[in-house]
């Protein structure tokens, strides 16, 4: 098994896609462990045949439809009108818009890309430091996963058999705490990173602001209501028990399509585009699920999770020390591995150990996903940082001093969530 793990790490280090890495490692492991080749097909098919996992492509599709239907610009316009009298309002708008978009897309990187392309240039023109702007958007992008629905939480629930609805409910309070923490940090840093006297607003932005100024707050709100209703339908349906998460995702797709067609935000000629983009994103995730299941099967066959659990018990019998060790391990994994793959692998490896220490599987799932997700702010992977740097025409070096502040705040909130289980289990 050690040979397989070494091969997995080596292939990852040279930049091979994570799904292909799992596939190669699984094929090698199958030969070493004498697993029939025919089992690979059935295991892969079994991994992606779960009804719960159908929610992933459906939520991605719903997000693509709403994204191409001008939902982001409407949300930003409404937020700007509500907060326009507050100093540094665009920073607050960025955090709140990211949280709302997260309730639609369930993806961190997608949130960074969408928000960055919509508001990043405007913040820089208004006098915000470019590195800070990119860092704020990168950190706020984490809310794409912290706010339900969340694709990594769906993966975790499907892997360990936890209720996805319960995971979504459990993530609400931590998500709100993260939002408040980022808003407070923005307020603290505002004097150093916001210099309105250096503003250089383009003619295009001036024209857009002039058009927006002619529209009343009430009219803007009315235009945004259909978009605001979508997460209410989805999350309300799940929490009230009307829908399962998968059914809620399907309802979101239908609602988004009807809304886009009725409001003419997406032309019939362009209707294929969101389906294409959703298919590409879904294929990548489902490929990781299929091939990681082969790897996880070998791990289970070799009783590695049990060995990890025994090792943890031998190391310490203190639940709080175990939680600290768990967070450290997951944080390092999140630095080097793609989020969805890391969730699938670590859930199998560490869930038995968490159970040994009597950690609620819902609480453990929130800790696992949150810690790995924070890794998106830390090199060498740092997906949110690299995407935000590209979209906002910044550099990682320019962003790092600001990103480290958001990283520190994120870790503090994570520790609060980890050591105050009530924040995630209040409804159980």
Residues 171-180: tens digit of each pLDDT: 999 999 999 9
Distance CA 389, CA 109 (A): 12
Distance CA 44, CA 301 (A): 16
Residue numbers in the chain where pLDDT is lower than 70: 1-2, 13, 69, 203-206, 208-214
- 3-state SS, the chain, equals CHHHHHHHHHHHHCCCCHHHHHHHHHHHHHHHCCCCHHHHHHHHHHHHCCCHHHHHHHHHHHHHHHHHCCHHHHHHHHHHHHHCCCCCHHHHHHHHHHHHHHHHHCCHHHHHHHHHHHHHHHHHHCCECHHHHHHHHHHHCCHHHHCCCCHHHHHHHHHHCCCHHHHHHHCHHHHHHHHHHHHHHHHHHHHHHECHHHCCCCHHHHHHHHHHHCCCHHHHHHHHHHHHHHHHHHHHHHHCCCCCHHHHHHHHHHHHHHHHHHCCCCCHHHCHHHHHHHHHHHHHHHHHHHHHHHHHHHHHHCCHHHHHHHHHHHHCCCHHHHHHHHHHHHHHHHHHCCHHHHHHHHHHHHHHHHHHCCCCHHHHHHHHHHHHHHHHHCCCCCHHHHHHHHHCCCCHHHHHHHHHHHHHHHHHHHHHHHHCCHHHHCCC
Quote the pLDDT of residue 6: 75
Is residue 5 classed exposed, middle or buried when 0-12, 13-18 and 19+ CB atoms within 10 A define those classes? Answer: middle
Quote the pLDDT of residue 213: 66
Quote the pLDDT of residue 208: 66
- pTM for the full predicted model: 0.90
Q: Report CA 411 to chain centroid distance, whole Å.
A: 16
Structural domain for 94, as ranges: 2-425
Quote the pLDDT of residue 35: 78
* Span between the terminal Cα atoms of the chain, in Å: 39
Kindly report, residue by residue over 278-316, the tens digit of the pLDDT: 899 898 888 888 888 887 888 888 788 888 888 888 888
| Cβ contacts of 267 within 8 Å, gap of 6 or more | none
Quote the pLDDT of residue 194: 94
The number of folded domains in the chain is 1
């Amino acid at each position: 098994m050690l040979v397989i793990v070494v091969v997995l790490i080596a292939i990852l280090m040279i930049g091979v896609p994570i799904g292909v890495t799992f596939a190669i490692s699984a094929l090698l492991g199958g030969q070493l462990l004498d697993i029939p080749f025919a089992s690979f097909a059935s295991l892969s098919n079994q991994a992606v045949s779960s009804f719960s996992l159908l929610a992933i492509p459906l939520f991605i599709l719903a997000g693509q439809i709403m994204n191409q239907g001008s939902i982001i610009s409407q949300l930003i316009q409404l937020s700007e009108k509500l907060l326009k009298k507050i100093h540094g309002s665009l920073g607050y708008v960025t955090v709140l818009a990211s949280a709302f978009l997260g309730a639609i897309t369930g993806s961190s990187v997608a949130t960074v890309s969408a928000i960055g392309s919509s508001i990043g240039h405007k913040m820089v023109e208004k006098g915000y430091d470019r590195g800070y702007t990119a860092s704020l958007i990168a950190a706020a992008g984490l809310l794409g996963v912290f706010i339900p629905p969340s694709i990594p939480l769906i993966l975790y629930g499907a892997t360990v058999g936890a209720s996805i609805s319960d995971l979504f409910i459990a993530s609400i309070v931590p998500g709100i705490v993260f939002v408040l923490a980022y808003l407070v940090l923005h307020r603290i840093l505002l004097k150093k990173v916001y210099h309105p006297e250096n503003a250089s607003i383009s003619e295009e932005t001036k024209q857009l602001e002039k058009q927006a100024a002619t529209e009343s707050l009430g009219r803007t709100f009315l235009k945004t209501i259909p978009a605001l209703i979508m997460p209410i339908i989805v999350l309300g349906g799940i929490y009230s028990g009307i829908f399962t998460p998968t059914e809620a995702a399907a309802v979101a797709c239908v609602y988004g399509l009807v809304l886009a067609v009725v409001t003419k935000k997406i032309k019939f000629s362009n209707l294929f585009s969101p389906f294409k983009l959703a298919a590409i994103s879904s294929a990548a995730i489902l490929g990781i699920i299929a091939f990681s299941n082969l790897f996880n099967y070998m791990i289970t066959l070799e009783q590695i999770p049990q060995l990890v659990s025994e090792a943890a018990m031998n190391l310490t019998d203190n639940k709080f020390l175990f939680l600290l060790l768990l967070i450290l391990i997951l944080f390092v994994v999140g630095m080097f591995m793609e989020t969805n793959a890391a969730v699938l692998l670590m859930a199998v490896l560490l869930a038995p150990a968490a159970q040994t220490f009597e950690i609620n599987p819902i609480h453990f799932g929130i800790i696992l996903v949150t810690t790995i997700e924070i890794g998106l702010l830390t090199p060498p992977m740092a997906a949110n940082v690299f995407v935000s740097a590209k979209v906002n025409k910044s550099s990682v070096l320019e962003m790092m001093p600001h990103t480290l502040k958001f990283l520190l705040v994120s870790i503090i909130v994570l520790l609060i969530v980890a050591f105050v289980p009530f924040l995630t289990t209040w409804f159980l």
